[in-house]
Amino acid sequence: MNKDVDSALHVLKGAVQDVLGATLTTSVFADGPKGRLTVEMGQNPSDEEMQMVEESANRKIEQNVPIEMFRMDREKAELTYGDIIYDRFPIPEEVKELTLTMIGGWNINCCRGPHHKRTGTVPSIRIVKWRHRPARRELEISFMLGT
């Protein structure tokens, strides 16, 4: 995954969690400056809510906060941050140390990147469409960077 889209996914996920309360990512996809984030969600969000998600993500980019990466003992990481660090991507049991990526107070999960060092250099995020799939209880959010 490229650095721009990977970093944008962390920023966008924080906004999705903040605005919509969706906490678990089920899949991610990148293709050049385009990306897609899929999260578990029971309801179809309104246009206004999705606009708030986009604004919230771009505000976090403007704030230019650090995107920190660090390694941590697995047990300690689970105790400190909870299972949320895995989203829906299980990590084999034999892995005892995790690489965590954190935007303070916004988003944390296991990810090796690559990432920007701060949100300020991440291109702006435009949500181009979204699709709610009730049977799967998933929300797919397609976005484009830097436009």
If binding means CB under 5 A, how many residues of this protein chain bind Zn ion?
3
Q: Determine the straight-line distance between the first and last CA of the chain, rounded to whole angstroms.
A: 20
Calpha distance 84→24 (Å, rounded) = 7
The arrangement of strands across the sheet holding 34-40 comes to: 25-31, 34-40, 138-145, 125-133
Q: Which is nearer to Zn ion, 21 or 114 (CB)?
A: 114
User: C-beta of 46: minimal distance to Zn ion in Å?
Assistant: 28
Residue type, 10: H
- Which residues, 89 to 108, sit near Zn ion by CB under 5 A? 101
Contact 67, 48 (CB under 8 A): no
Q: Which is nearer to Zn ion, 52 or 65 (CB)?
A: 65
Q: Which is nearer to Zn ion, 25 or 101 (CB)?
A: 101
Stretch that binds Zn ion, among 3-11, 24-32, 36-44, 90-98 (CB under 5 A): 3-11
Decide: is 6 part of the binding site for Zn ion (CB under 5 A).
yes
User: C-beta of 99: minimal distance to Zn ion in Å?
Assistant: 9
Which whole-number Å values give the CA distances from 78 to 86, 110, 113, in the listed order?
9, 11, 20
What DSSP assignment string belongs to 88-107?
Answer: T----TT--EEEEEEETTTE
Decide: is 19 part of the binding site for Zn ion (CB under 5 A).
no
Decide: is 67 part of the binding site for Zn ion (CB under 5 A).
no
Decide: is 4 part of the binding site for Zn ion (CB under 5 A).
no
User: C-beta of 113: minimal distance to Zn ion in Å?
Assistant: 5
Rg (CA), the chain: 15
Decide: is 111 part of the binding site for Zn ion (CB under 5 A).
yes
Residues found near Zn ion in the complex (CB under 5 A)? 6, 101, 111
